[in-house]
Each structure stands twice: as structure tokens, then as C-alpha cells.
Chain A
Amino acid sequence: MSDTLTEQKPKSVKPPKQKKPASLWSDAWYDLRRSKVFIIAAVMIAVLVVMSIIPGLFSSVNAFDPTTCDLTKARQGVSAAHIFGTDNQGCDTYSRVIYGARISIMVGVFSTLVTTLIGGLLGLLAGFYGRWTDTILSRVAEIFFAIPSTLGALLILALVGRENAGIWTVVVALSVLAWPMVLRIMRAAVMSAKSQDYVLAARALGAGPGRLMGRHILPNALAPVIVVATMNMGVFIAAEAALSFLGVGIQSPDISWGLMIADARNRFLQAPEALLFPALFLSLTVLAFVMLGDAVRDALDPKLR
């Protein structure tokens, strides 16, 4: 037998698959675009975002304009002029629901941003350096973690007082209590990425901590944090509504779904629409983010790969 066939260069061996994107991120994106759940959630969120930026697009009535509130028209039912009816002050419920999206989305986005950045960074450091860095950061996180978040936020906001309460205090109150969860998830993901052979190989090449974290560990530890951040967005929006409902969150004249539900609760039996419409929008918003998180998790899950 001839031995000329030893050690041959395997030429373009990959079969011509259907156009498949290369990197794992674009792979995940490719999967996402094929997920029905993702499409539905994304459309819902897109509508909400547009709603919060340009509410005028959806509502011909300016909810901030006091002239649109007409006390003589207070507590009206559903009609052609006011499709969701009017509230105690005679304001159009529909336009208030539309304008209410802004605060919800802002609280969701900013709380998520703050918690992900703080929790993510500290989690990266705790997971990478371990030892006393980890001990200190994890213990601090555990202290915050032990406080039930809604109760804790209620307490913080009660201390701040109604007169100072607003969107930023709500964001701070929610973030203070929620970053430890992100830290925990990031820390666990970093620790598992850190023990991979490619990190060892990079160390053997002489890579420093910055390169190890930035090039090798972070990109491989990000997936679970992204999933949690997406889902947290919905959780924060729900929490804001709860706090506003309880009177410690967003204050009038700012418009918040939670506040609207609170205003409408006493005459629910007479005028259920005043409560049901903001509640419906709130539920759909939270649902959209949870669905998005689910779809993202499915796309990023390496086990399916």
C-alpha cells in the first residue's frame, strides 16, 4: 500500500451548510429572528418604546395639558371621545395610559442599566480575583440580598419622603436592592469561564488580568447576565407600579400606571375600565420583557448548540 497519503492537508472540509452565521453571537441572533416568542415580544416592546418617546403619535389628546382634563367630565364611562373613559379629575384615561408608558420604560431601563453595570462589574471582580475580594463583595451582596426587595424599596422611599419621591428615587431604591442578584449570576458565570482551558492557555501565553477578563472571560460569561437583565426589566416595571400604587413611588402630576390603578381602585365596581386599562398595559409590558428574556435564553443556551 502506498504511503503517500499520510498527513494530508484537510481541505475545505466543512460541508456547504445553509448560510450559517459564524460567531456564537450572530448564531444566537440568527436563532432569535426565527423565534415567534421573540418576534411578538420585540414588536410589543418596540411599540412601548415608541409610545414612551413620542406619545403624541398614539394619543391626539395631550395628557399633560391641564385643559384636556375637564372636571365636568370626570368619571365618564367609555365613549367615542374617551375610548377608555375619564378619571376622577376628568382626564382622558386612554391618553394617560399612553403617557404612562414613559415612566415605566424609564424606570425599567435605568434600573436595569445601573444594576447590570454595578452588579456585573463587581461580579466580574469577585469571580476573577476570588479570595478576599470575593469574600468581601459576596458578603456585602448577601446583606443586601437578605432584604426583601419590594419591602426594602418601600422602606427606602418612605425614608426619602413623598416630597422628594420621583422617578430617580425609585430607580435608586430598586437598584440598591437588586444589584446583588446580578453580582451572583455574573460571579458564577465568571468562575465557570475562568476554569476553562482557553483561559489557562492565554495565561500560558502571558496574558494579564485585563486581557483575561476582557477577551476571554467576559464574552463567555455574559449570556446569563443578558438574560437576567432582560427579565429584570419587566420585574422593575412591575415593582415601580407597586411602589407608586402604595403611594411612595411616582407622585402626581407625573403619570404612572401604578398611580392610575391606585386612583381608580375605590370605584372599581362602578368604573372598572379606569383600573383595567392601565393594569392591562402593565401586565402586557411585564409579559413582553419576560417573553423576551425567555427567547434570549433559548437562543444563548449553549446546551442547544
Chain B
Amino acid sequence: MKNPSVDTHLLPADSGSIGTEPLLAVDNLHVEFTTRQGVARAVNGVSYALNAGETLAVLGESGSGKSVTAQAIMGILDMPPARIPKGEIRFRGTDLLQLSEAQRSQIRGQQIAMIFQDALSALNPVFTVGWQIAEMFRVHKGMSKKAAYAKAVELMDRVRIPAAKQRVNDYPHQFSGGMRQRIMIAMSIALDPDVLIADEPTTALDVTVQAQIMELLAELQRESNMGMILITHDLGVVADVADKIAVMYGGRIVENAPVHDIYRNAAHPYTKGLLESIPRVDMKGQELYAIKGLPPNLLDMPTGCAFHPRCPFRQDDCVTDVPALHEISGTRSSACHYWREVLDGTAG
């Protein structure tokens, strides 16, 4: 699949993994930001893994660190104010954090690509969309202008933009929100990346358009066997497309599991609370279950388990001890001291 001209000498080509090494692995990643009010620990030891052809959903609310982790993978964090004091991000076994900026920019776009929530601000308003897509081919593959434009039209067709040939010379503002998101997807898959990170790709879109985009992403993934990291807060979208889920809270992974397991029976009180707060038909007229309290302040994290001030399962040790990610089964883990009780549903 991979174009032979791509400089991959750093990385073992082809095979999705070396031994048991997944395509992409984040290992004990820490990211902190220096702000005027102090140091904000946005990511505190996050680990997750992604295999080829797999969709990993990273679920969390604002400030959970889900987007910061993705930006660290892409290497697009502003440093400073950001800092990565600890951790590894291994792509095909190579720690990206050890690479030079030049080496990373080789990987960025070609092997790991990203799409953003706001397509309008991610596209350059003064260039035509065709020019922007073609630029990917000209810069990274040294194609001629003409060949690159032909590829751009081909890609616009592939993401199903109607009348691609006529619209290749239009500017981003001439497209609707859904079409702009398609253009961004076209740019991100232009160089056949192995990993696609989608950061809230449909949050700004309407539900009918969201359905189109999610369908397109699933289809592209099937065709190319990409690994996809889908960052979202939408429990519905996750249930629709994910193979496995990493739930983040306060800069940590609190639960890791295959999608069916989590929706059947959550092993962390936060996940459980989120799922129970979804309005259901049989709950009509009744109060919704609501997680009490507020999300944590990154500048002043609670001691012990970050979720303890809001947790119905809280015991004394939750206030003092940070829970490790306990393995429940080969594919599941939960960062709760009392995951057994959570699974059984016996609140403190």
C-alpha cells in the first residue's frame, strides 16, 4: 500500500507489528502545561494501544486530556507551554518522542494523520481546496502540479464530493460544513496513513450529516485497514463504530474495554454514571441519573482517585491512594479500587 518513495528507513516497513507490538502504543504518557496559575497536569500516565484496522474510541469530557494525548501523538503540541516529562509513544515500535522534528514531520501526515472538529478553521481560506489537497502530493511525493491536481480530484471523488472536477477550484467557504469535513478527510488520507486520529470529527455537524461522515470514515477504514483513534464525548457515536474504548477522566484512563463489555456492564463508576445518565424511554417523566458535582480542575486535582469527590462507591482509600489500572480480563481494565463492586452494582 505504502508508496516506496516514502522515507521509512526508520521504521520497519509493511508488517502491522513486530511480535506483539501494536501499530501505535501510548505508554505512561504525561503532559503538563505551564499556565499563569500554575502547572496544569493535563495527561497523567495514559496508556493505550491501537492495532491496524481497529477503531479505538477515546471517550471523555472537556479537560479529560483526550485531545492533548492525540496532539502529543501527532507532535503538534506547542512546547512550551506544554511539556512531556515522561512517557513513550511508539509507532511500529519506534518511540516518536525520541525522534528529531525533521523525522517526526516525515511521519506526520504520511503515517499518522489527523482530522479536527472545526474543518473551516483547519483549512486555509485563501487557497482553493484542490490546491490544498494537491499540496500534500507535491510536498510529500514531489509530484508535478498537474499530477497532484489529478490526484486531488480523485480523492475528492473518493470522499464522495459531488462534481469533484468542477469543485476542485472552489474555496473552503464555498462548501457546507459536511463537505468541508470531507475535504479535510481527503487531505488526511491523501498519503495513505496507517493511523488516522479523528478529534471530535462530527461534533460541529448535524446528525444527518454526522451519519454520512461516520459512514465514510468506516468505509475508508475498511478499504485501507487503517487504525483509527476516534476522540469524542458522544456515547452514541462510540457505540456505533468503536471496537474498543478508553475512557478518560482527569488526565487518566479510567477504563479500557471492548465496546460491548462497557455498554453491557461498566467497570468504573464514571463510565457507569455516564451510561446511566443517558435519557431512556422507560425513564420518561422521572429524574435522570446525574453524576453529582463537577469535573476536576486540572490545576488542583483531587487527591487519590480524581473521581472520588463525585463517586458513589467512594471509600476512605479512594481519597488517599491513586488507583492503578487493574486488569479485569485480558482485554479489560479499570482504574477503580472497587471495580468488583462496580461490576456487581453494589454501591458503597
Answer yes or no: do A and B interact.
yes
Interchain Cβ contacts within 8 Å, total number:
34
Query: In whole Å, how far is A35's beta carbon from the nearest beta carbon of chain B?
Result: 12
Residues of B within 8 A of A15 (CB): 297, 299-300
Query: In whole Å, how far is B318's beta carbon from the nearest beta carbon of chain A?
Result: 15
Tell me, yes or no, whether B223 is within 8 Å of chain A by CB.
no
1/0 contact string of B253-278 vs chain A (CB within 8 Å): 00000000000000000001000100
Tell me, yes or no, whether B347 is within 8 Å of chain A by CB.
yes
Tell me, yes or no, whether B292 is within 8 Å of chain A by CB.
yes
Residues of A within 8 A of B288 (CB): 6
Q: Is the CB of A1 within 8 A of B312?
A: yes
Tell me, yes or no, whether B281 is within 8 Å of chain A by CB.
no
1/0 contact string of A1-22 vs chain B (CB within 8 Å): 1110111101001010100000
Tell me, yes or no, whether A304 is within 8 Å of chain B by CB.
yes
Q: How many of B's residues come within 8 Å of A, CB to CB?
A: 17
1/0 contact string of B312-347 vs chain A (CB within 8 Å): 100000000000000000000000000000000101
Interface of B is mostly: loop
Interface residues of A in 1-50 (CB under 8 A from B): 1-3, 5-8, 10, 13, 15, 17
CA–CA, A6 to B272, complex, Å? 14
Q: Is the CB of A8 within 8 A of B312?
A: no
Q: Is the CB of B294 within 8 A of A6?
A: no
Tell me, yes or no, whether B293 is within 8 Å of chain A by CB.
yes
Q: Is the CB of B292 within 8 A of A8?
A: yes
Q: Is the CB of A2 within 8 A of B292?
A: no
Q: Is the CB of B293 within 8 A of A8?
A: yes
CA–CA, A3 to B287, complex, Å? 9
Residues of B within 8 A of A1 (CB): 272, 276, 312, 345, 347
Q: Is the CB of A13 within 8 A of B300?
A: no
1/0 contact string of B281-296 vs chain A (CB within 8 Å): 0000001111011100
Residues of A within 8 A of B347 (CB): 1-2
CA–CA, A189 to B222, complex, Å? 50
* Chain A, residue nearest B310 (CB): A5
Q: Is the CB of B292 within 8 A of A6?
A: yes
Tell me, yes or no, whether B36 is within 8 Å of chain A by CB.
yes
Residues of A within 8 A of B299 (CB): 15, 17
Query: In whole Å, how far is A28's beta carbon from the nearest beta carbon of chain B?
Result: 13
Q: Is the CB of A5 within 8 A of B287?
A: no
Given contacts A10-B293, A13-B293, A15-B299, are A5 and B37 in contact (CB under 8 A)? no
1/0 contact string of A137-163 vs chain B (CB within 8 Å): 000000000000000000000000000
* Chain B, residue nearest A9 (CB): B292
Give the top 7 A-B pairs by smallest Cβ distance, nearest first: A15-B300, A8-B292, A1-B347, A6-B290, A5-B292, A13-B294, A6-B287
- Not counting A5-B290, A10-B294, a sample of 19 additional A-B residue pairs whose C-beta atoms are within 8 angstroms of each other reads A1-B272, A1-B312, A1-B345, A2-B312, A3-B287, A5-B292, A5-B312, A6-B287, A6-B289, A6-B290, A8-B293, A10-B292, A10-B293, A13-B294, A15-B297, A15-B299, A17-B37, A17-B300, A304-B36
27 residue pairs from A and B, CB less than 8 Å apart? A1-B272, A1-B276, A1-B312, A1-B345, A2-B312, A3-B287, A3-B289, A5-B290, A5-B292, A5-B312, A6-B287, A6-B288, A6-B289, A6-B290, A6-B292, A7-B290, A8-B293, A10-B292, A10-B293, A13-B293, A13-B294, A15-B297, A15-B299, A17-B37, A17-B299, A17-B300, A304-B36
